[in-house]
Amino acid sequence: MVKIHMTLAPRPVISLIAGCALFFSLAAGVAGRAGADDYERGFRALEDGRFDEALYYISLYAANGDPRAQYTMGVMHRKGAGVEQDDREALLWFLAAAESGHMLGQYAAGLAFDQGRGIDRDFENAVHYLREAALNGHAAAPVQLGNVYFDKANPAADNAKAHFWWTIAERRNAPGAGENLDKLARTISEEDKQRAAAYLDQCATATLRNCFPRNP
């Protein structure tokens, strides 16, 4: 069964994942008997627009715990490619991929929580999954993470943390990061500016995973 960020995940996600556990266990044995050729056949079929064939193969590997296949199932459900469009089902698959350490799955799950796609909007889970994507090297994740901290609808909004993550994004040449920093520069307080600088100073001698700003 998929493990999610249990202290943050809302009840609907937990129920959704638990309800699919039986399907995962039954399909796993079938996927285990499929060959490597079948694995790539599913992705080739998806690229060619043969969605029924793609769904057949990719779903087997997704149910067997393959993160790439799980992420792809999420994309198919989000776009309605070969399946009925379903943001809730897409989120389930993105979470499955994310909890296996799949960077794109983490980013997609974070976006879904931030945008309220498939579940009520959840800033804490948005931060958790976007941060994991950022720590794993996703170039755009720090931009979105900064957006979450800048969003005044977020009870944990924090301009210093927004500045920190947008600076990380700018260093990765992520589109929009520089513009966001320019916008923030017009409103950020001196105190928040100093906190942001302190966060960045810590990263001069430590990896991002060991230096990013924690709560509170």
pLDDT tens track, the chain, 216 positions:
333 333 333 333 433 443 444 344 434 444 444 566 888 999 999 999 999 999 999 999 999 999 999 999 999 999 999 999 999 999 999 999 999 999 999 999 999 999 999 999 999 999 999 999 999 999 999 999 999 999 999 999 999 999 999 999 999 999 999 999 999 999 999 999 999 999 999 999 999 999 999 865
Specify whether the CB–CB gap between 180 and 189 falls below 8 A. Answer: no
Question: Final residue of a domain: which of 135, 159, 180?
Answer: 135
Angle at 187 between CA 182 and CA 192, to 5 degrees: 100
* Residue 59: CATH number of its domain: 1.25.40.10
Q: Does 100 share its domain with 112? A: yes
Q: Does 130 share its domain with 31? A: yes
Q: Does 130 share its domain with 196? A: no
Within the chain, strands assigned E span: none
**Domain assignment present for 214:** no
Predicted local confidence at residue 38, as pLDDT: 86
Structure tokens at 48: 């060619």
Question: Final residue of a domain: which of 135, 169, 196?
Answer: 135
Q: Is 154 left (phi over 0), alpha (psi -120 to 50) or beta?
A: beta
Predicted local confidence at residue 214, as pLDDT: 84
Predicted local confidence at residue 25, as pLDDT: 43
Specify whether the CB–CB gap between 138 and 103 falls below 8 A. Answer: yes
Q: Does 143 share its domain with 40? A: no
Instruction: Specify the amino acid at residue 193.
Output: K
Specify whether the CB–CB gap between 163 and 198 falls below 8 A. Answer: no
Q: Does 75 share its domain with 151? A: no
Residue of 28, 24, 103, 25 lying closest to 71 (CA atoms): 103
**Domain assignment present for 215:** no
Question: Final residue of a domain: which of 102, 135, 168?
Answer: 135
Q: Does 27 share its domain with 122? A: yes
Predicted local confidence at residue 90, as pLDDT: 98
**Domain assignment present for 184:** yes
Q: Does 26 share its domain with 95? A: yes
Q: Does 169 share its domain with 88? A: no
Domain count, the chain: 2
**Domain assignment present for 216:** no
Q: Does 120 share its domain with 20? A: yes
Q: Does 151 share its domain with 195? A: yes
Predicted local confidence at residue 216, as pLDDT: 53
Q: Return contacts of 93-98, CB within 8 angstroms, 24+ apart.
A: 93/62, 94/70, 95/2, 95/4, 95/13, 95/17, 96/2, 96/17, 96/62, 96/65, 96/67, 96/70, 97/67, 97/68, 97/70, 97/71, 98/129, 98/132
Q: Does 131 share its domain with 112? A: yes
pTM > 0.75: yes or no: yes
Predicted local confidence at residue 20, as pLDDT: 45
151: containing domain: 139-209
